Amino acid sequence: MLLRVISDVKPKWIAIAFDKSRVTFRNNMYADYKAQRKETPSELSEQFPIAKKLLEAMNISVLELEGYEADDIIGTFALHKSDEAEVIIVTGDRDELQLLKDNVKVFYTKRGITDIQEFDVEEFKANYEGLEPSQLVDLKGLMGDASDNIPGVPGVGPKTAMKLITEYQSVENVLANIEEIKGKSLKEKLEENKEKAILSKQLAR
């Protein structure tokens, strides 16, 4: 996959980010963050040191930092890049879509390297009913994310979350306008889970 990306993209610079440890600053915010994840199989984890040696031999930077996820490292580089640089993030994680900007694209690996969806800001809007990439964290704040064990608001699914963020733009605005929202049950869910919604947005960012 890596060799195919290098061949197709021909990048001037390249770096690969790894998760350093399972425990990150998000676990301090929410103890159950990713708590449902199983341990990495030893058959895989013992390959990481070999992979890193190979990358070093290929003169490719390996980035990892205690207390942070690989996603955070990628996000930092995407946010603080030179304005002249075009950043391409190659990942199988949709969380990175929140980083999309004019000079930041995401190559989302739907199935290995043979099926890639190229996301820019316009592609994101086409897939997320006109929302801005930065609003992905607001969606997660309401609907949560089972893969990362982000709670969201119990009982609020993707369709309801999309409708609310489209109308109110952010989690904070949704919570500030609960009285306007139709449906007694939905109002109660939002009212009872305000703190969870705000926390979930913070975890997703």
Q: What is the pLDDT of residues 77-118, one digit of tens each?
A: 998 887 788 999 999 999 999 999 999 999 999 877 778 899
* Residue found by looking up tokens 């000079």 in the block: 103
User: Average per-residue pLDDT in the chain?
Assistant: 92
Q: pLDDT, tens digit, for every residue of 184-193?
A: 999 999 999 9
Is residue 8 a contact partner of residue 51, using CB atoms and an 8 Å limit? Answer: no
Where residue 58 falls among pLDDT bands split at 50, 70, 90? very high
Which pairs from 154-158 meet CB under 8 Å and 24+ separation?
A: 154/189, 154/193, 154/196, 155/185, 155/186, 155/189, 156/186, 156/189, 156/190
pLDDT at 35: 82
Confidence of residue 124 (pLDDT cuts 50, 70, 90): very high
Q: Where are the alpha helices (DSSP H) in the chain?
A: 2-9, 25-29, 42-45, 48-57, 70-79, 121-127, 136-143, 158-168, 171-176, 184-192, 194-204
**Which has more confidence, 10 or 115?**
10
Q: How confident is the model at residue 177 (pLDDT cuts 50, 70, 90)?
A: very high
**Confidence bin at 67 (pLDDT 50/70/90):** very high
CB 99 within 8 A of CB 133: yes
